[in-house]
Copies of this chain bind each other. A is one copy, B any other.
Amino acid sequence: MMLKIGELASKTDVSHHTLRFYERQGLIAPAGRSDSGYRLYSDLDVDRVGFILSAKKVGFTLLEIQQLLELEITKDDNSCGDVKCFVDKKISAVNQRMLEMKRIKKSLQALSKACCGGSVPATQCTILEALSEQKN
């Protein structure tokens, strides 16, 4: 019933290095310790690693996951609105980054389009010229 770190590692496919790293980051702590100081994890801890992995898959950072876990643990004192708000803020941040990436993509495509791409020397390459242009 209690797992040592190596067992948890193979069960969750998270390395023991990473599990200890998550512990230092305050994401997970073993349910107890053996007499010799070995970490001992319970089934709840296994679930917790699952939560962390799920949250990572949807793009949350470790800090955000820490906050989500806090919400989870104290969920009786939090409302659905609190949790949804947390997710919606993340959606906004993701949207922001996507807009920036779209801008970048368009700029790059414009550069690519203007370049002949031939085997002629790049002496007059429009890409290099565009990047060299002074915007004063």
Number of interface residues of A (CB under 8 A): 57
Q: Is the CB of A84 within 8 A of B130?
A: no
Instruction: State which residues 117-133 of A face B: CB under 8 Å.
Output: 117-123, 125, 127-128, 130-133
CA distance A115 to B132 in the complex (A): 50
- Copies of this chain in its oligomeric complex: 2
Q: Is A7 an interface residue (CB 8 A)?
A: no
* Listed stretches A17-25, A30-38, A46-54; interface member: A46-54
Q: Which residues of B contact A72 (CB under 8 A)?
A: 128, 131-132
CA distance A79 to B116 in the complex (A): 10
Q: Is the CB of A81 within 8 A of B118?
A: yes
Residue of A72, A84, A90 most packed against chain B (CB within 10 A):
A84
Instruction: State which residues 83-136 of A face B: CB under 8 Å.
Output: 83-85, 87-88, 90-91, 94-95, 97-98, 101-102, 104-105, 107-109, 111-112, 115-123, 125, 127-128, 130-135
Q: A: which residues have CB within 8 A of B?
A: 47, 50-51, 54-55, 57-59, 68, 71-72, 75-85, 87-88, 90-91, 94-95, 97-98, 101-102, 104-105, 107-109, 111-112, 115-123, 125, 127-128, 130-135
Show 14 A/B contacts (Cβ-Cβ < 8 Å), sorted by A.
Answer: A50-B133, A50-B135, A54-B131, A57-B107, A59-B101, A75-B121, A80-B117, A83-B115, A84-B115, A84-B127, A87-B108, A87-B127, A91-B112, A98-B105
